[in-house]
């Protein structure tokens, strides 16, 4: 399955972003170096800023490549993730590196303009990346807050001041000219800046709130993936808010705050790396599980693993069979009826549905996360689906065997009933009549006739009793075997006292009755252990050659039990009796 492996290198398997990756990386490197040369801050701060920017760019590009690979896989599995969290991360890193160029001292007009316009773009870009990570679609409210933040950061703090900023007026003679200058209005420049900062003090906390609300609302598995980036992004936004406050009050730019922001951004990159490691661990576990399941298929183990990974203890797996039925891992029919919308997710491979996941609402809100987990478990899912299909077929076979045995029993009982209700009653009535006749006129002939008739009635009684005595249905296995022991060489060691399912009692009695030998004695020991009826028969008749043993075997197998005969008179039977 195509989901089985995520691409290791963004350059080897995903040609699409390659050009963009190289371009952005080169631009980031250049920007960082340029920033380093012109920034008047201390060397440590400059190095931290540079490292944070580069880390974000690299992380973003790698995330982009990863999610591009996962997107193909997720789409094949029927999911539709969005993948722009990576590019957004890289963009925020780039904006972070470009921001210090807003000083005319840069000496290069396009760079100066970029610095001016993108001066405050990094915070909304990072918040956007964190909200969309790893592949989530934004809610309307989130999009609104983000839109306002972008408009304020790039419009009010970026483009607006750029249009009214003339470096020459502000006393910088050597500065490059501002080609976008629309009107030299120093008052407007200061006003826009102040307004923009005030707005930032509003939208940055609003973005923090949006991040927290989103984190609170997502499922446990998605929360585990999102939490690190969300927390670090929120820290960064908090620092930005503080930064705004300070620059309003003091009008100065604190270098220590810049360093702290750089550290927060570096932590955001590290948070994304951490999710990669976690995903790798999941894949590793899934791979081990596949090997384990291949060695010893255990229905339910994959479910447990997915339930733990996805943090949904109610999770169930179901497998569609070619004939249209849907079964669980054990091959039993799976009930899907009455499931609320959004709690059944279909996983497909090559347009063929391989599994249905029944889960808590909202579990698969992030299709990228789902795709990632499905990618890791696809082989195990496929394996279990085949196992489920096999189990379903076995169950069918068992049911049809049980039906055949049941039909044969029913036919036999019907014949016994006919014998009893017909011939036996008439014989008995005749006996009564003869008895009455003898009372009137006794004769040797009448006495002979009565004796003959009595023998016939006794023979008919034994015939009509059949293989299943009434006492079996009436009083259970123990009474029936006890009764068997009264007319056949059967020694009872132990019998279960309680009643069992009729089908189990019938199967057990059938085996015991058929095992009674022509000569010698059959020893019967039966007990219930671990919800199974275990029977040991010693001195059993050799049933191997005839159809009897296969009949017994069929009956036991029809009840999902086991029968073993050693050929020397020892038969062991184990029947589930729940």
Partner 1 sequence: MRVVIADDEALLREGLAMLLDQAGFTVAGKAANPAELRRLVATERPDAAVVDIKMPPTHTDEGIVAAQEILDAYPGTGVLVLSHYMESGYAMRLLEGHPGGAGYLLKERVSSIAVLADALHRLAEGECVIDPTIVSRLIARREHDRLAELSQREREVLALMAEGRSNLGISQELSLSPKTVEAHVGSILLKLGLDGSPDIHRRVLAVLAFLRSAS
Binding mask 454-493 for partner 1 (x = CB under 8 A): x--xx--x--xx---xxx-xxx---x--xx-xxx-x-xxx
Which of 223/465 has CB closer to partner 1? 465
Q: CB–CB of 301/293 below 8 Å?
A: yes
Query: In 293-332, which positions are buried (b, 16+ CB within 10 angstroms) versus exposed (e)?
Result: beeebebebbbebbbebbebeebbbbbbeeeeebbbbebe
Query: Which residues, other chains included, contact 106 with Cβ-Cβ below 8 Å and sequence gap of 6+?
Result: 34, 38, 112, 115, 176
* 348 in contact with partner 1 (CB under 8 A): no
Shortest distance, position 546 Cβ to partner 1, whole Å: 26
Which is nearer to partner 1, 183 or 439 (by Cβ)? 439
CB of 308 to partner 1, least distance (A): 52
Using alpha carbons only, give the angle 68, 57, 374 rounded to the nearest 5 degrees.
30
Least distance (Å) between residue 409 CB and partner 1: 16
**Does 424 engage in binding with partner 1 (CB under 8 A)?**
yes
How far apart are CB 457 and partner 1 at their closest, in Å? 4
DSSP labels, 188-233: HHHHHHHHHHHHHHHHHHHHHHHHHHHHHHS-HHHHHHHHHHHHHH
Residue span binding partner 1 (CB under 8 A) among the ranges 7-15, 194-202, 407-415, 432-440? 432-440
Local structure of 348: helix, strand or coil: strand
**Residue 444 found at the interface with partner 1 (CB under 8 A):** no
Q: Are strands 352-358 and 532-538 parallel, antiparallel or unpaired?
A: unpaired
Under the binding rule (CB under 8 A), the answer on residue 436 touching partner 1 is: yes
The CB-of-540 to partner 1 minimum distance in angstroms stands at: 17
Does residue 526 bind partner 1 (CB under 8 A)?
no
Q: Is 413 in the site for partner 1 (CB under 8 A)?
A: no
CB 573 within 8 A of CB 537: yes
Q: Shortest Cβ distance from residue 556 to partner 1 (Å)?
A: 24
The answer to whether 428 contacts partner 1 (rule: CB under 8 A) is yes
Of the candidate residues 431, 528, 536, 570, the single one contacting partner 1 (CB under 8 A): 431
> What secondary structure letter does DSSP report for 42?
-
Q: Between residue 145 and residue 164, which ones bind partner 1 under the rule CB under 8 A?
A: none
Question: Between 111 and 526, whose beta carbon lies closer to partner 1?
Answer: 526
Distances (CA, A) of 144 to 84, 85, 105, 148: 18, 17, 36, 6
502-515 and 367-419 helices, crossing angle to 10°: 60
Min dist CB 450 to partner 1, Å, is 6
Tokens of 487: 């007319």
Position among 439, 441, 444, 497 found at the interface with partner 1 (CB under 8 A)? 439
Q: How far is the CB of 452 from partner 1 (least distance, A)?
A: 12
Per-residue 3-state assignment (H helix, E strand, C coil) for 86-140: HHHHHHHHHHHHHHHHHCHHHCCHHHHHHHHHCCCCHHHHHHHHHHHCCCCCCCH
Query: Which one, 298 or 483, has the nearer CB to partner 1?
Result: 483
User: Is there binding between residue 433 and partner 1 (CB under 8 A)?
Assistant: yes
Cβ-based burial of 33 (10 A; exposed 0-12, middle 13-18, buried ≥19): exposed
User: Least distance (Å) from partner 1 to the CB of residue 77?
Assistant: 57
Stretch that binds partner 1, among 11-19, 50-58, 193-201, 428-436 (CB under 8 A): 428-436
Residues that bind partner 1 (CB under 8 A): 420, 424-429, 431-436, 438-440, 450, 453-454, 457-458, 461, 464-465, 469-471, 473-475, 479, 482-483, 485-487, 489, 491-493
């Amino acid at each position: 399955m195509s989901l089985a492996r995520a691409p290791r290198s963004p350059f080897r398997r995903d040609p699409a972003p390659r050009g963009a990756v190289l371009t952005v990386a080169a631009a980031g490197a250049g920007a960082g170096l340029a920033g380093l040369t012109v920034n008047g801050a201390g060397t440590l701060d400059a190095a931290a800023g540079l490292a944070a920017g580069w880390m974000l760019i690299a992380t973003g590009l790698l995330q982009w490549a990863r999610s591009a690979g996962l997107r193909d896989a997720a789409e094949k599995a029927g999911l539709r993730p969005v993948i722009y969290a990576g590019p957004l991360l890289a963009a925020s890193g780039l904006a972070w590196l470009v921001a210090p160029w807003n000083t005319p001292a840069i000496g290069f007009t396009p760079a100066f303009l970029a610095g001016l316009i993108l001066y405050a773009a990094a915070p909304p870009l990072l918040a956007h990346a964190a909200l969309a990570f790893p592949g989530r679609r934004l809610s309307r409210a989130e999009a609104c807050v983000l839109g306002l933040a972008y408009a304020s950061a790039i419009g009010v703090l970026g483009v607006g001041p750029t249009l009214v900023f003339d470096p020459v007026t502000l006393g910088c003679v050597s500065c490059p000219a501002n080609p976008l200058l629309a009107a030299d209005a120093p008052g407007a420049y200061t006003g826009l800046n102040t307004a923009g900062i005030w707005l930032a003090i509003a939208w940055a906390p609003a973005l923090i709130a949006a991040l927290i609300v989103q984190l609170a609302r997502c499922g446990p598995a998605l929360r585990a993936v999102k939490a690190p980036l969300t927390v670090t992004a929120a820290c960064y936004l908090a620092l930005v808010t503080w930064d705004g406050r300070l620059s309003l009050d003091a009008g100065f730019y604190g270098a220590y705050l810049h360093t702290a922001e750089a550290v927060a951004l570096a932590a955001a990159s590290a948070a994304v790396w951490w999710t990669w490691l976690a995903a790798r661990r999941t894949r590793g576990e899934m791979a081990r599980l596949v090997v384990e399941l291949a060695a010893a298929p255990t229905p339910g183990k994959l479910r447990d693993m997915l339930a733990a990974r996805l943090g949904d203890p109610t999770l169930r797996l179901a497998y569609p069979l070619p004939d249209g039925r849907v079964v669980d891992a054990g091959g039993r029919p799976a009930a899907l009826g009455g499931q609320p919308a959004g709690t059944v997710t279909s996983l497909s491979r090559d347009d063929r549905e391989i599994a249905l996941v029944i889960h808590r609402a909202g579990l698969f809100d992030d299709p990228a996360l789902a795709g990632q987990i499905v990618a890791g478990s696809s082989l195990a899912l496929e394996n279990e689906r085949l196992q489920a299909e096999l189990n379903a077929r076995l169950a069918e076979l068992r049911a049809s065997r049980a039906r055949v045995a049941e039909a044969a029993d029913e036919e036999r009982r019907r014949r016994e009933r006919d014998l009893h209700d017909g011939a036996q009653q008439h014989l008995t009535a005749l006996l009564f009549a003869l008895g009455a006749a003898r009372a009137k006129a006794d004769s040797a002939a009448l006495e002979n006739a009565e004796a003959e008739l009595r023998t016939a009635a006794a023979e008919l009684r034994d015939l009509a009793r059949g293989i299943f005595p009434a006492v079996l249905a009436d009083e259970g296995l123990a009474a029936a075997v006890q009764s068997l022991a009264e007319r056949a060489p059967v020694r009872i060691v132990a019998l279960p006292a309680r009643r069992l399912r009729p089908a189990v009692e019938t199967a057990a009695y059938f085996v015991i009755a058929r095992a009674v030998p022509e000569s010698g004695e059959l020893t019967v020991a039966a007990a219930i252990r671990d919800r199974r009826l275990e029977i040991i028969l010693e001195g059993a008749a050799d049933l191997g050659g005839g159809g009897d043993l296969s009949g017994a075997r069929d009956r036991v197998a029809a009840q999902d039990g086991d029968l073993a005969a050693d050929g020397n008179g020892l038969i062991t039977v184990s029947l589930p009796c729940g």
